[in-house]
Structure 1
Amino acid sequence: MSAFRLNLLDFSNKSVATLHFTWFAFFLTFVMWFSLPPLKPLITASLDLSAQQWAALLTLNVALTIPARIVVGSLVDKFGPRAIYTLLLAVSGAILIAFALAQTFEQLALFRFLLGFVGAGFVIGIRLVSEWFPARQVGLAEGIYGGWGNFGAAAAGFTLPFLAIHVYGGEDGWRYAMITAGVIAMLYAVCFYLSVRNTPKGSTYFKPKKSGGLEVTSKKDFVFYVLMNVPMYLILAVLAWKMSPTNLGLLSTATTYVLYVVLLGLFAFQFAQIYRVNKEMLKQGAAEHDKYEFKQVAILSWAYLATFGSEIAVVSVLPAFFMSTFEGLSVTQAAMLGGSFAFMNLIARPSGGWVSDKCGRRISMSVILAGVTLGYLLLSQINAGWPLYLAFAAVFTCSLFVQAGCGAVFAVVPLIKRRMTGQIAGLAGAYGNVGALFFLTMNTFIDIHSFFYMLAGAAAIGLVFVQFLKEPRGHVVEVNEDGTLHKIEVS
């Protein structure tokens, strides 16, 4: 393979074969995770759900994803992506089937909450792909993994309603469609386990010294890391508030306060785990060969918040925005225009990773985030006086930069510290979800034009932060089991 090109049809190449197995695993997780919205009319009619109950299911669908990405990242680094992806696919498939068989709203709510864990699947493949591709190709490979896997959300919208209505039919058609997706995921879990290995033959899979939190290498970084966890708990508190009597009214006041206390307790527990992992470093300092700058992780996390987080938010609001702006637009047309924003994942994410590999990590992210900023400023200017084709062109252009930004972020993540790639990917991925929930919450308080200004502001802040990103150079060092040092090329 050349430095910047992959022959994706060469299945005899173990790296390429592993990439295909991995993106399809991610694809299936997104089919399951996004199986709910396209089946809304059928599910609500079948179980006579109210608008508030449906809103609660959508909220529960993402509630567990933020902590799950942190937990799964740690498990991947400790046990390896082969075992964890297999387990995630099998368990998530079973939960989706249980959701499809639910007969009450309470059962639906429980299984949808649990299914939020499948949103952590993305993190697993980041570590696996990084093990199989060198630094000069890892951005492109991760972009293909992320972009093609993300398409599972669109595939769910295309296939599940068709299966439910035209293949199975009847009141329970949606149940059989979901069961089909769950069974496929469980069967693929077996296929994945039998076909994929954690590393190429002869390579070492480096594991963290301790599990439960990221290892940092200075006292300043320890404080920084602890503070970085605060927004994740705050946004989960916002989710609890959304279901409280002051909003959706699906929780009692007492239950809401109990959840606040639980979140506080979880934060205290996580702090204890982070301290346990870093206790020795805080007393004695870190070995010179182990040092890295945690600001790298923080910058990438914010960049993913500004790209993937804004993508999820925009996809959610664009259809309604187009319908209210352009008179005579049908629901289907508005949905297609909105969905086009995410559709660009197929080519834009790999492109962002490829550009990062070829042109440099920091300069690529700088140009892309500048494009994201200008793109959202452009969307903020759309009004009824615009021709529809011009509005679509603006969405298309903005989308290219946003998806490319996602690819560029995860072109850098695997190059920071190999043995903790899963945890770093988990933290950055979690911040993407934090951004989505924050932006969508703010959207309920501001008008749509201010919403796009807000997204542009988040990208502009990311552009400033990226100027402090340290370009990966030379090698990072890991320690073999016999105590010898092993250099891994990152440039």
Structure 2
Amino acid sequence: MLTEMWSLRGRYKILHFTWFAFFLSFVVWFNLAPLATQVAADLNLEVGQIRTLAICNVALTVPARIIIGMLLDKYGPRITYSLLLIYAAIPCIAFAMAQDFGQLVVSRLALSIVGAGFVIGIRMVAEWFPPKEIGIAEGIYGGWGNFGSAAAAFTIPAIAAWLAFGAINPQTGEALLNWRLAIAGTGIIAAIYGVFYYFNVQDHPPGKVYQRPKSARGLEVTSKRDFLFLMLMNVPLSGILMVLAWRLKKIGLYGQGVLILILLALVGLYLFQAYNCWSANKELLSGKKRYAPEDRYNFSQVAMLELTYLANFGSELAVVSMLPAFFEGTFTLNATKAGMIASTYAFMNLMARPGGGLISDRLGSRKTTMTVLTAAMGISYLMMGSVNSGWWIPAVILLTMACSFFVQAGEGSTFAIVPLVKRRVTGQIAGNVGAYGNVGAVAFLTIFSLLPEWLSGGGEITPAVIGQANTIFFQMMGVVALIVAFLCWFVLKEPKGSFSEHHEGEEADISETMQKKMGTKAID
């Protein structure tokens, strides 16, 4: 595969066009982090407000990934990805035109939906690559696309400075950043590529059938016990949005009355989702339908993948959102230098996520790969918690890159398993697993935003307090990762057909398609 990859024909063309779609969605999604200090300075935002914007940046991605997964299974990845990229221009332009914190929050919440694009490519790549190569293919898609966050951190400050036409801040003597044009520009570029993507890809190879669930309203399960498990695992998806609503109320964006209305709406959202899941599984629950043993899957596998993605991708989103400011404050660097150093964390996506997928393909056990990488990630975060201003910066960069390798290789390992659980609901499974990544991100970032206040006892937030908060933040993510690694070892199971030539049901699909074609020719 690696030698054929640059042919830009057939499935490799689809892979390259799709990872670049994901790359642009990540550039858009993380176009705030490297410009956060400039936005704060221009609009007189407090530290808590900037950290709240970072939470908003990943908030609506939680329900969006569920909804996108449903639309994906029903309509296919081609049109779904194209429309999402075109949509990206709207919140980017709105954010660029914002004049106060409230407008920033609303536009950033709308922009967080763009982060759901990841789910779409998972199904697209799975349609074009067999199980024995799914790890490396999904790893290339996820890793090279995920590099968009590093590209944003590395290039957007320089582009914003160029767009400011050399203007200098008279107080600091540093170059001003035209963050408005830079952020709007990323959305416009994504929209243009969305049109290009629609006219240059196909949902599946010729001769294959795009398997769709009987109902895209909710995730199909194959036992009554799994349905109850699904309802339980759906609780955090609405619960984390309640946490975000409370956080926005805490910083004064709205009052107690509005908070109560939002909480009631989120309860309604959970009930609506539960009803849709019941509708998709009502024949099973009423006893009218029973699945043959070969057609069943264990939802516990989905739940474990949700937890692994909470630990790895959730922590990555949190770290990418805070790392530029972390380096800027810890080592007294300007925004451009801090952004460049912070980009080393996401830079590892180019190798780590494909590497995790490749290891998963070659090791012969996707479960062992997942467990080892998650444990190594936990240890790396514990080491990151000891970084302070006394460290040698090159050593910090090496540690950051090592930590990033295990985080992103773990992500690659997670999505080397996702397409193998149940093919016809791959979009929805990917949506649920992906949403848990954002559950983790919102949880981690909420704690991160509150730590300085807790540690200072409501008093002055000094650099020492911020340093202590950063230490606890990294240690917390390390402990979570070690707990998840323990669960992986005892709960996660090896998927059936992990290294076969065809996806589950694929040979039957091809045979069925050929029979239909032959039948048509006979009639003609």
TM score, norm. by length of structure 1: 0.89
Partner of residue 14 from structure 1, selected from 10, 14, 19: 10
Q: 1:382 to 1:158 in 2, by over 3 A?
A: closer
Deviation track 1:178-230 (CA, whole Å, cap 9, x = no partner) reads: 33322222221111011000001111100011012110011111111111011
Q: Does 1:185 align with 2:183?
A: no
Q: Does 1:136 align with 2:132?
A: yes
2:57 corresponds to which letter in structure 1? N
Match of 1:296 in 2: 301
Q: Does 1:464 align with 2:515?
A: no
Partner of residue 231 from structure 1, selected from 220, 236, 241: 236
Match of 1:401 in 2: 406
Contact 1:77 1:421 in 2 (8 A): yes
Alpha carbon RMSD of aligned pairs, Å? Answer: 2.8
Deviation track 1:130-185 (CA, whole Å, cap 9, x = no partner) reads: 10111111111111111111111222233333333314647994333333322222
- Please give the residue correspondences for 1:155-194 in structure 2 after superposition, counting only pairs within 5 Å: 155-167=151-163, 169=165, 173-194=178-199
Match of 2:361 in 1: 357
- Please give the residue correspondences for 1:398-477 in structure 2 after superposition, counting only pairs within 5 Å: 398-443=403-448, 444-445=450-451, 447-467=469-489, 468-474=491-497, 476-477=504-505
Report the Cα distance in structure 2 between the residues aligned to 1:180 and 1:415, rounded to whole angstroms.
Answer: 38
* SS across alignment from 2:94: helix
Match of 1:81 in 2: 77
Match of 1:282 in 2: 285
Q: 1:483 to 1:216 in 2, by over 3 A?
A: farther
2:7 corresponds to which letter in structure 1? D
Match of 1:489 in 2: none
Partner of residue 67 from structure 2, selected from 61, 68, 71: 71
Deviation track 1:25-46 (CA, whole Å, cap 9, x = no partner) reads: 1111111111223333554455
Report the Cα distance in structure 2 between the residues aligned to 1:279 and 1:379, rounded to whole angstroms.
Answer: 48
Partner of residue 151 from structure 1, selected from 147, 157, 176: 147
Deviation track 1:349-368 (CA, whole Å, cap 9, x = no partner) reads: 01000110111211211221
Partner of residue 58 from structure 1, selected from 31, 48, 54: 54
Q: 1:416 to 1:160 in 2, by over 3 A?
A: same
Q: Does 1:119 align with 2:90?
A: no
Q: 1:56 to 1:464 in 2, by over 3 A?
A: closer
Q: What is the count of residue pairs matched by the alignment? A: 479
Deviation track 1:443-491 (CA, whole Å, cap 9, x = no partner) reads: 33374443333222222222222222221233634797999799xxxxx
Report the Cα distance in structure 1 between the residues aligned to 2:482 and 2:233, rounded to whole angstroms.
Answer: 20
Identity within the alignment, %: 48
Report the Cα distance in structure 1 between the residues aligned to 2:264 and 2:57, rounded to whole angstroms.
Answer: 22
Contact 2:34 2:324 in 1 (8 A): no
Deviation at residue 20 of structure 1 after TM alignment: 0.7
Report the Cα distance in structure 1 between the residues aligned to 2:507 and 2:251, rounded to whole angstroms.
Answer: 52
Match of 2:276 in 1: 273
Q: 1:378 to 1:485 in 2, by over 3 A?
A: farther
1:295 corresponds to which letter in structure 2? S
Deviation at residue 297 of structure 1 after TM alignment: 0.6
Deviation at residue 396 of structure 1 after TM alignment: 2.3
Deviation at residue 114 of structure 1 after TM alignment: 1.3
Q: 1:255 to 1:221 in 2, by over 3 A?
A: same
Match of 2:345 in 1: 341
Q: 1:45 to 1:463 in 2, by over 3 A?
A: closer
Report the Cα distance in structure 2 between the residues aligned to 1:22 and 1:334, rounded to whole angstroms.
Answer: 30
Contact 1:477 1:485 in 2 (8 A): no
TM score, norm. by length of structure 2: 0.84
Mind listing any 5+ residue stretches in structure 1 that lack a counterpart?
487-491
> Which region of structure 1 is more displaced relative to structure 2, 274-283 or 454-463?
454-463
Report the Cα distance in structure 2 between the residues aligned to 1:274 and 1:399, rounded to whole angstroms.
Answer: 36
Deviation at residue 24 of structure 1 after TM alignment: 0.7
Contact 2:69 2:429 in 1 (8 A): yes
Q: 1:361 to 1:68 in 2, by over 3 A?
A: same
Mind listing any 5+ residue stretches in structure 2 that lack a counterpart?
168-175, 456-468, 498-502, 515-524
Report the Cα distance in structure 1 between the residues aligned to 2:44 and 2:326, rounded to whole angstroms.
Answer: 28
Deviation track 1:282-316 (CA, whole Å, cap 9, x = no partner) reads: 12243213210111111111111111111222334
Partner of residue 92 from structure 2, selected from 87, 90, 96: 96
